[in-house]
């Protein structure tokens, strides 16, 4: 295991997104990962989830829901702070913490579509780490097709009765609350039937499966959720009935940006580790980095990484101005996750046989990165979205 978060190499084109305030926040996040997360990664991977009190520690430092308004426990800052949190997680080469889904996906649904009572109750608890949250979209057999959701929520007086199951739910095992994508209404109207309903984890009939045995990202809390005649009050409806698909579409572009950010920073971290390894490792009496094949390969990777960095930072500028298009976000997710896969593959090759050993960070990066081309919509779906804009 590495002793601290790796620092990426300086970009060929300097970044200009961040101020001194951002740099100070980044230092806080970096120290948190170095102290609380990196020493425990092996432990988290064995138990298949982080320790519950890690959420409280993150909340105490203001690392959760930072973009939410101050009245709801956040700092009211922009999404550059989210970008910093995700980048530092990647530089720590950590795939265990599910903070971004909690703070930058679930919190946004509640803030954008919830009423004041829902915001006051949930966002404040989420910001402190008192409440861990998840969002339950995917079901067995549905994949990226949200219109095929079969989980139902039938209104019975002042309560919804929820039946169904969800799979691949990040933060599902530790969650105290989950936003569930359900079919509401008596008629099958496809996406027009989808609604979002808040379900507390202590509701009768709600149960969780064991953490799923994944090939990578083993420390991340991911499980199945089951709903058997779960009753929740009508007041738990988020927004309006039948508006779920619209709400999901509004946030999916940002969710894809989150994947692009972690892939970009992950590629930078893998590359930095590899540059250092090739300088330290010797073969035939000289460092691996002195061979032309190594130098040319590193030059190729560095160029691809920096080209993607420029595109991603431009997308982030558009995101801050609320002008980022669905197609641009899809392109960022698709291209940068593909780039990350190429980078970790080439970097592992430069490590030789040691790259296959789990004590080297590049090995874990290699197996952890693969899911990025699948979740938040597969890269094939990203290409479909891009093609629709042509």
Give per-residue pLDDT as tens, 100-109: 999 999 999 9
Residue 378 lies in a domain: yes
384 and 251 assigned to the same domain: yes
Residue 190 lies in a domain: yes
Closest to 108 in 3D by CA, of 69, 81, 139, 138 = 69
Mean pLDDT of the chain: 93
Residue 266 lies in a domain: yes
158 and 49 assigned to the same domain: no
209 and 289 assigned to the same domain: no
Residue 363 lies in a domain: yes
260 and 379 assigned to the same domain: yes
Instruction: Give the end of a domain, one of 78, 112, 131.
Output: 131
Neighbouring C-beta atoms of residue 378, cutoff 10 Å: 15
200 and 304 assigned to the same domain: no
180 and 204 assigned to the same domain: yes
Give the percent of the chain with pLDDT over 70. Answer: 97
Q: Is 228 helix (H, G, I), strand (E, B) or coil?
A: strand
Residue 366 lies in a domain: yes
Q: Which CATH number goes with the domain that contains 25? A: 1.10.540.10
Q: Per mean pLDDT, which of 2-16, 46-60, 245-259, 276-290 is the most reliable? A: 46-60
Q: Which CATH number goes with the domain that contains 197? A: 2.40.110.10
Q: In which domain, by residue range, is 358 found? A: 246-388
Number of domains comprising the chain = 3
Paired residues of 159 in beta bridges: 156, 233
Q: Which CATH number goes with the domain that contains 317? A: 1.20.140.10
325 and 350 assigned to the same domain: yes
Residue 138 lies in a domain: yes
383 and 250 assigned to the same domain: yes
pLDDT in tens, 287-340: 999 999 999 999 999 999 999 999 999 999 999 999 999 999 999 999 999 999
User: What residues contact residue 149 under an 8 Å CB cut-off, 6+ apart?
Assistant: 137, 139, 142, 164, 181, 182, 183, 194
Q: How confident is the model at residue 187 (pLDDT cuts 50, 70, 90)?
A: low
257 and 373 assigned to the same domain: yes
251 and 382 assigned to the same domain: yes
Residue 340 lies in a domain: yes
Q: How far apart are CA 108 and CA 65, in angstroms?
A: 9
Work out the burial of residue 345: count CB atoms within 10 Å of its CB; fewer than 13 is exposed, 13-18 middle, 19 or more buried.
middle
Instruction: Give the end of a domain, one of 194, 211, 242.
Output: 242
User: What is the 8-class DSSP label of residue 97?
Assistant: -
Residue 300 lies in a domain: yes
Q: How confident is the model at residue 2 (pLDDT cuts 50, 70, 90)?
A: very low
Instruction: Give the end of a domain, one of 242, 271, 301.
Output: 242
* Active-site residue flag, 255: yes
The reported pTM is 0.93
Does the pLDDT at position 170 exceed 90?
Answer: yes
Q: Exactly one of 255, 268, 317, 322 is catalytic; which is it?
A: 255
- Summarize the confidence of residues 73-91 as an average pLDDT: 96
Neighbouring C-beta atoms of residue 363, cutoff 10 Å: 17
34 and 111 assigned to the same domain: yes
Element (H, E) at 246: helix 244-280
Element (H, E) at 232: strand 222-233
Nearest-10 crossing angle of helices 244-280, 361-368: 150
283 and 361 assigned to the same domain: yes
């Amino acid at each position: 295991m590495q002793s601290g978060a790796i620092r990426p190499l300086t970009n060929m084109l300097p970044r200009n997104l961040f101020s001194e305030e951002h740099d100070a926040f980044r230092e806080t996040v970096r120290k948190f990962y170095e102290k609380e997360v990196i020493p425990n990664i092996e432990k988290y991977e064995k138990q298949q989830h982080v320790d519950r009190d890690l959420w409280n520690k993150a909340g105490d430092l203001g690392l959760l829901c930072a973009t939410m308004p101050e009245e709801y426990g956040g700092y009211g800052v922009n999404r550059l702070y989210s970008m910093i949190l995700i980048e530092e997680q990647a530089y720590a080469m950590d795939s265990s913490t599910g903070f971004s889904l909690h703070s930058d996906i679930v919190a946004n649904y509640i803030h954008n579509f919830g009423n004041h009572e829902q915001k006051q109750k949930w966002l404040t608890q989420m910001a402190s780490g008192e409440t861990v949250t998840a969002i339950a979209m995917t079901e067995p057999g549905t994949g990226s097709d949200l219109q095929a959701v079969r989980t139902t929520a039938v209104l019975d007086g002042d309560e919804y009765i929820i039946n169904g199951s969800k799979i691949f739910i990040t933060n599902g095992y530790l969650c105290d609350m989950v936003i569930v994508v359900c079919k509401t209404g008596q008629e099958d109207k496809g996406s027009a039937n989808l609604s979002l309903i808040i379900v507390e984890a202590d509701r009768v009939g709600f149960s969780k499966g064991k953490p799923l045995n994944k090939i990578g990202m083993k420390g991340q809390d991911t499980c199945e959720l089951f709903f058997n005649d779960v009753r929740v009050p009508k007041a738990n409806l988020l927004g309006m009935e039948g508006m779920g698909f619209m709400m999901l579409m509004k946030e999916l572009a940002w969710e894809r940006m989150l994947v692009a950010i972690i892939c970009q920073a992950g590629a930078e971290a893998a590359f930095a580790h590899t540059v250092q390894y090739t300088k330290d490792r010797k073969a035939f009496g000289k460092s691996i980095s002195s061979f032309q094949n190594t130098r040319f390969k590193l030059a190729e990777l560095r160029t691809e990484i920096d080209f993607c960095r420029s595109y991603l930072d431009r997308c982030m500028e558009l995101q801050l101005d609320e002008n980022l298009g669905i197609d641009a976000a899809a392109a960022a997710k698709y291209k940068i996750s593909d780039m990350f896969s190429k980078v970790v593959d080439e970097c592992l090759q430069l490590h030789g046989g040691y790259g296959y050993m789990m004590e080297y960070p590049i090995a874990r990066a290699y197996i952890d990165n693969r899911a990025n081309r699948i979740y938040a919509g597969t890269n094939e779906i990203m290409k479909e979205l891009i093609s629709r804009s042509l």
